[in-house]
Amino acid sequence: MNLLNYGLLPKMKPLAPRRSAIVAALDIGTSKIACLVARLRPIPPQDVLRRRTHVVEIMGFGHTSAGGMKAGAVVDLAAAEEAMRNAIDLAESMAAVQIESAVVSLSAGRITSELFAASVDVAGAVTGDDIKRVLAAGSHNSARDGRVVLHSLPLGFSLDDAHGIRDPRGMLANRFGFDMHLVSSDIAPARNLMLAVERCHIGVEALVASPYAAGLSVLADDEDDLGAALIDLGAGTTTTAVFSAGRFVHVDSFAVGGHHVTMDLARGLSASVPDAERIKTLYGSVIAGGSDERDMISVQAMGGDEREPPQLISRAVLTRIVRPRVEEILEMVRDRLGHSSFAAEPRARVILTGGASQLTGLPELAARILGRPVRVGRPLGLSGLPEAARGPAFAVAAGLLVYPQAAHLEHFEARRTRQLKTGTGGYFTRVGRWLRESF
Ligand SMILES: Nc1ncnc2c1ncn2[C@@H]1O[C@H](COP(=O)(O)OP(=O)(O)OP(=O)(O)O)[C@@H](O)[C@H]1O
Ligand SMILES: [Mg+2]
């Protein structure tokens, strides 16, 4: 059965709380691919970051530049496959395991949020059966034309007109429902990404929205509670996830990122794209410094005579090229966040991840434009993470390893009822855990 035809993606089997597991993560970006393999080992509750049940011990890491990708989507299947294989091979040989499946990130496909409510009539007190019926009603309605559901997270149950009820079992109502946060993307980019991964003989455990994954790895507990917007500034995409009272409540994305800054520089300086990229990462800044007019950088003009002396560009000129595009990106984020629940949470802060968050002065500029405290986020609480993977560009990859611990928060379809009744303790046990831990 091809779940994609139903607008449903594979949902990850929740991690057993007291069992170890080996998990692989694949973050396939526009500019780079990161593959991580880790052992997830259960730890005593008092030792963990509050929402984590397992410690993540990195066993393998592979990192290569991406191929065949544009704006977070596969545009050349063979090139994408080859680049993925390289990253996977590196991680496999370091970990000395063979990867059979992976948790995979998605940034493309116009990822957006939708709030969704489903309800059913009940006769008297709400029973486990009513919960099953209302969840099933929600799952069936969640497939929309050309869109695929990545995440379905509970916001609360409702009894008649009362919303936000944690555990409705045994309570009385005429109509019983639930409110849900649905995250969806266009089908084609999701399907093609899965196809590319499957061509490497790797099964896709789950597709996770990139900024949600980044949030899982970099947010501290208090940020999660007070509210936070995670902005992942990638090469081809900028994606945002909003967290409120410990829950993932909103997501948004658009296809502009650090690569556009590089292209502006290449045009502005008549330099090649690789030169522009190098200049940007070495000297790129969005804030003016005191000596910028005098501080000169040498740039070789593209197609120019090698014997010609390189042109000298001041840092101030560089900043004048870089800054407008970064402002445009941040203003787009601000305007879009203005329509989300983030706008109503004045104490919520902003955390930046992604390679492009490393531009000098970005937190200051972002704080000014977004009107909130801003910091750059790095993966938290993973042991054995290699130095090369500790920066903000690896927040998504690291978060994919945390995701299995959060997978139980999502409701998944009880389509194959017989199979669900065995194994992890049966459907009702799981819904019970979902009820206890979701709210
Ligand atoms: N030190 C740096 N200063 C400024 N920009 C940087 C720096 N290092 C990397 N970048 C930029 O970060 C971007 C890559 O970020 P990242 O690795 O998060 O993207 P990606 O995951 O490949 O892309 P996407 O998530 O958009 O598909 C590139 O545009 C790169 O130029
Ligand atoms: Mg990325």
pLDDT, tens digit (0-9, with 9 covering 90-100), for 195-254: 999 999 999 999 999 999 999 999 988 888 889 999 999 999 999 999 998 889 999 999
Same domain, 231 and 332: yes
Same domain, 303 and 214: no
Could you read off the pLDDT of 423-434 as tens digits, one per residue? Answer: 333 344 444 455
CATH number at residue 58: 3.30.420.40
Mean predicted confidence (pLDDT) in 40-51? 72
Could you read off the pLDDT of 300-344 as tens digits, one per residue? Answer: 776 666 677 788 999 999 999 999 999 999 999 999 999 898 998
CA 358 – CA 134 distance, rounded (Å): 45
Same domain, 373 and 393: no
Are 75 and 64 in contact by the 8 Å Cβ rule? The answer is no
Question: For residue 1, is it within any domain?
Answer: no
Ligand 2 mean position, distance from CA 136 (Å): 33
User: How does strand 21-28 pair with strand 101-106?
Assistant: parallel
Q: Whose CA is nearest to atom 2 of ligand 1?
A: 281
Residues forming a β-bridge with 352: 231, 376
Q: Please give the pLDDT value at position 273.
A: 95
Tokens of 71: 């704006």
Same domain, 281 and 390: no
CA 225 – CA 241 distance, rounded (Å): 14
Are 21 and 394 in contact by the 8 Å Cβ rule? The answer is no
**Among candidate residues 113, 66, 60, the one with its CA nearest the CA of residue 91:** 60
Q: Please give the pLDDT value at position 414.
A: 41
User: How does strand 147-159 pair with strand 203-209?
Assistant: unpaired
Could you read off the pLDDT of 62-101 as tens digits, one per residue? Answer: 999 999 999 999 999 999 999 999 999 999 999 999 999 9
Structural domain of residue 297, as residue ranges?
226-377
Same domain, 107 and 189: yes
Same domain, 94 and 200: yes
Q: Please give the pLDDT value at position 139.
A: 61
**Among candidate residues 240, 238, 235, 233, the one with its CA nearest the CA of residue 254:** 238
Kindly state if the Cβ of 258 falls inside 6 Å of ligand 1. yes
CA 363 – CA 375 distance, rounded (Å): 6
Kindly state if the Cβ of 247 falls inside 6 Å of ligand 1. no
Q: Please give the pLDDT value at position 221.
A: 81
Same domain, 209 and 258: no
Kindly state if the Cβ of 392 falls inside 6 Å of ligand 1. no
Which among 344, 377, 410 is the end of a domain?
A: 377
Are 255 and 189 in contact by the 8 Å Cβ rule? The answer is no
Same domain, 279 and 202: no
Same domain, 215 and 251: no
Same domain, 392 and 356: no
Question: For residue 366, is it within any domain?
Answer: yes
Which of 264, 281, 365 gets mutated to test ligand 1 (max ligand atoms within 8 A of its CB)?
A: 281
pTM of the model: 0.89
Could you read off the pLDDT of 380-410 as tens digits, one per residue? Answer: 989 999 999 999 999 999 999 999 999 888 8
250: which DSSP letter?
E
Same domain, 26 and 75: yes
CA 326 – CA 334 distance, rounded (Å): 12
Question: For residue 89, is it within any domain?
Answer: yes
Alpha carbon dihedral 150, 155, 156, 161, in 10-degree steps, equals -110
What whole-number percentage of the chain has pLDDT above 70? 86
* Total domains present in the chain: 2
Same domain, 57 and 192: yes
The amino acid that residue 148 corresponds to is: V
Kindly state if the Cβ of 81 falls inside 6 Å of ligand 1. no
Evaluate if residue 261 carries a pLDDT over 50.
yes
Which among 340, 355, 377 is the end of a domain?
A: 377
Kindly state if the Cβ of 141 falls inside 6 Å of ligand 1. no
Ligand 2 mean position, distance from CA 30 (Å): 7
Query: Which has the higher per-residue pLDDT, 21 or 51?
Result: 21
Q: Please give the pLDDT value at position 179.
A: 85
- Rounded to the nearest 5°, which phi and psi values hold at 390? -95, -5
Q: Please give the pLDDT value at position 49.
A: 58
Residue pointed to by tokens 């409701």: 411
Q: Which ligand 1 atom is at minimum distance from the Cα of 354?
A: 18
